[in-house]
Chains A and B, each alone.
Chain A
Amino acid sequence: MTPPPPAETDAAPADAVVLRRVSKLYGEVAAVDDLTLTVRRGEFLSLLGPSGCGKTTTLRMIAGFEYPDTGDILVDGRSVLGVPPYKRQVNTVFQAYALFPHMSVAENVAYGLEQQRTPKSEIRGKVAEALEMVQMRSYANRRPTQLSGGQQQRVALARALVNRPSVLLLDEPLGALDRQLREEMQVELKLLQSRLGISFVFVTHDQGEALSMSDRIAIMREGKVEQLGDADTIYSSPASAYVAGFVGQQNFLEGRAGESGAVETELGPMRSSRPSETRPGERVRVAVRPEFVDLTADQPDGTSENTVKGTVIGVAHQGETRQFLVDAGDEHTLLVRRPTPRAPRLDVGDPAWCHWSPEDVHVFPHDGAHSAPPPTTVPDQPSS
């Protein structure tokens, strides 16, 4: 591999990776479909989406294991079309770690440096430093097979980062770890990334992972980026019903748009004070998050808008929050999440009123496409 390219033009390129109208077809199916995406220097970008949305293919094209059918990919401002993986200033942490079983931990980490013809005297120090960074120094002379999954994960990270790549690609690296370890690694990964200032592209289908670590998140669907933004934007201003349903939880209601944010739904009149692209008369989908729904035993005063009467059919205590499942009739159930200290004292079978404010209501065009199914049971775990 070559050292980082000197500034060819007036300044070093601001973007670590640029994908320009990239498509990749498998037979008739487009795994990646006219995708344009920029990874800024030093940012933590997550590609989030369900399996088959093209996120791993995108990652493999940046790494060089797949070539795009159309479009261009730039790393450090230079096109890498036709450049094999071993000549790219990019390193990957693989899903199953892919550590070399016939080499010790230290030899695994030294492998990339040896390929760059780093002098042996320097390799020793760099390997020790990289292992120090992931707290695996004391395992340097072990074989990867003698390590636990979490330890192998750290070695894979050190092996990639020791080469100081322009971009580090991570392909669902935390998927195989248990919950507690995964949460620890999330914090460590984020700390490591901000300390090193290396751009990370992190592929995941776990929204919690993406939300907790990323500077920006690209929500992918069928080979395209559905929305790109920071965690706050994605959560509070989802661009589509798909994004709204994929990140966090939503109560969806079907309806028809009226004038100035009014929507007539199956469960009565609703109103949104948020901007929406829908036109009056159009079929729409109304979304409100469980944490924004207020639950009371008595009918709220004032307006009848954004108010639904129902029966509590499930209560789940979850420590800091309490979840209620409310049957609103016509096979409609609403999920309500209240902070435990302010949760109403309602039990299964009690009548209850759900109410929410217009600024928490999102109205999306009804695209007929799949979205998260409505809750039918109270989930055991809050989905982060």
Chain B
Amino acid sequence: MPDLAPEAARPRLRAPRYALALPAGVWLVAFFVVPIGTIVWFSFGYKPGLFGTHANDVLSLDRYRETFSSTFFATFQNTLWVGVAGTLLCLLVGMPAAYWMAVKAPPNRRGLLVALVMVPYWTNFLVRTIGWQVILAPQGWLSSLLQTLHLTGEPLDILYTRTAVLIGVVYNYLPLMILPLFVAFDRVGEPLREASKDLGANRWRTFTRVTLPLARPGIIAGTVLVFIPLMGDYVTATVLGGARGNMVGQLVASQFQTAQNWALGSAMAVVLILVIAATVAVIAGLYWLASRPLQARHRLVLEDAP
């Protein structure tokens, strides 16, 4: 019997819609969910003897108790301080730069400026950080220059301190702040700023009432993008921090690599994750509380309209 409409008769094989997200999903499970799960699992175990790294036949919360030692607490405070101060500095430095790039710079130069922001990323992270070691060294050229100019009487004492780590992280993470801010400011667009000025708002009020509120998603993205990796940073603190600029990342690494105590290292890592999440939540809550009265001041609801 001749098949008159083979195309229509045969059901077409179609991949489900979520197939597009499948590669990313598999990747996420294999390289994010599984490792994190493993870390959490290890953190309930212990270090069996001198040569073992971890064992989970007896589960306990003892590693967490060990985690909250005074050294760890001091390092955590230091990490939080560098994380918050570094993020704020990035915001402070990045905001005007991004605003200038998106609003004031000639439009045909914007591509070039974005490229320039990205240029440091073409060089290895570690090499760039070691570069700062050279600059900040007490015998380095910056130190000599400052002494020659009589700005300081003695050699620069910044390397291997918290200040050096702060300089290093601001330098390393600034592009991650500038790019989302640039996109956010750019998307506000000239017409809305012109409309604001047309309605009698000067530059500052245009910025606070139109540009800044509309750029808020970018500001949040930039802040989160800088704060989270910064809190877990390990390279910058190792190269520039020394003993006085310790960060939790180093502590975790030393448990895994030097002390070979994977259980304790895992517990520290889990605490770090929780603290980062809690800090972000607290900051978001504070921001929400602070912005409420500001928003209420400009709210206008006409009751008799739906």
The secondary structure that dominates the B interface is: helix
Contact of B191 with A107 in the complex, beta carbons under 8 Å? no
Q: Is the CB of A115 within 8 A of B205?
A: yes
Q: B9 within 8 Å of A by Cβ?
A: no
Residue of A nearest to B202 (CB): A86
Q: Cβ of A352 < 8 Å from any Cβ of B?
A: no
B299 to A107, Cβ gap below 8 A? yes
Segment 154-192 of B: residues with Cβ below 8 Å from A? 191-192
**Cβ–Cβ contact B192 & A98, under 8 A:** yes
User: Are B301 and A1 closer than 8 Å at their CB atoms?
Assistant: no
On whether the beta carbons of B198 and A106 are closer than 8 Å, the reply is: no
- Say yes or no for A152: interface residue by CB 8 A criterion: no
Closest CB in chain B relative to A171 CB, distance in Å: 10
The verdict on B305 contacting chain A, using a C-beta distance below 8 Å, is yes
B residues in contact with A124, CB < 8 Å? 300, 302
A85 within 8 A of B: yes
Q: B300 touches which one: A86, A99, A104 (CB < 8 A)?
A: A104
**B201 pairs with A115, CB closer than 8 A:** yes
Count residues of chain B with CB under 8 A from any CB of chain A.
24
Q: Is there a chain B Cβ closer than 8 Å to A140's Cβ?
A: yes
Bound-state Cα–Cα, A141 to B199, Å = 20
Interface contact A116-B305, CB-CB below 8 Å:
no
CB pair B191–A123 under 8 Å, yes or no, is: no
Please tell me if the beta carbons of B199 and A159 are within 8 angstroms of each other in the complex. Answer: yes
Known: A94-B194, A115-B201. A110 touches B302 (CB 8 A): no
Assess whether B195 is in contact with A92, with CB atoms less than 8 Å apart.
yes
Bound Cα distance from A240 to B6, whole angstroms: 69
In the bound complex, what is the Cα–Cα distance between A87 and B305 (angstroms)?
33
* Most chain A CB inside 10 Å of its own CB: which residue of B206, B210, B298, B305: B305
A46 at the interface (CB under 8 A from B): no
A57 to B299, CA, bound (A): 35
Q: Is the CB of A127 within 8 A of B194?
A: no
Task: Tell me the minimal C-beta distance from B223 to chain A in angstroms.
Answer: 19
Q: Does A101 contact B (CB under 8 A)?
A: yes
A140 to B301, CA, bound (A): 7
CB nearest neighbor in A for B206: A86
Which residues in window 20-64 of A have CB below 8 A to B?
63-64
Q: Give Cα distance in the complex from A264 to B300, angstroms.
A: 71
What is the CB-to-nearest-CB distance from B192 to chain A, in angstroms, rounded to a whole number?
5
CA–CA, A181 and B270, complex, Å: 61
Residues from chain B with Cβ under 8 Å of A134 in the complex: none
User: Which residues of B lie under 8 Å from residue A64 when comparing CB positions?
Assistant: 197
Instruction: Flag if B302 contacts A86 (CB, 8 Å).
Output: no
Say whether B280 faces chain A, with CB atoms less than 8 Å apart: no
B-side contacts of A114, CB under 8 Å:
298
Q: Tell me, yes or no, whether B196 is within 8 Å of chain A by CB.
A: yes
Tell me, rounded to whole Å, the shortest Cβ–Cβ distance linking B190 to chain A.
Answer: 9
Query: B210 — nearest CB in chain A belongs to which residue?
Result: A100
A and B contact pairs by CB, cutoff 8 A, 17 listed: A64-B197, A65-B194, A84-B202, A85-B198, A91-B199, A94-B195, A94-B198, A96-B191, A98-B191, A98-B195, A99-B195, A100-B214, A110-B300, A115-B200, A115-B201, A115-B205, A159-B199
Residues of A within 8 A of B (CB): 1, 63-65, 84-87, 90-92, 94, 96, 98-104, 106-107, 110-112, 114-116, 123-124, 127-128, 131, 137-141, 159-160, 163
Beyond A85-B194, A86-B197, A115-B199, 4 extra complex contacts between A and B, CB < 8 Å: A127-B300, A139-B305, A141-B306, A160-B199
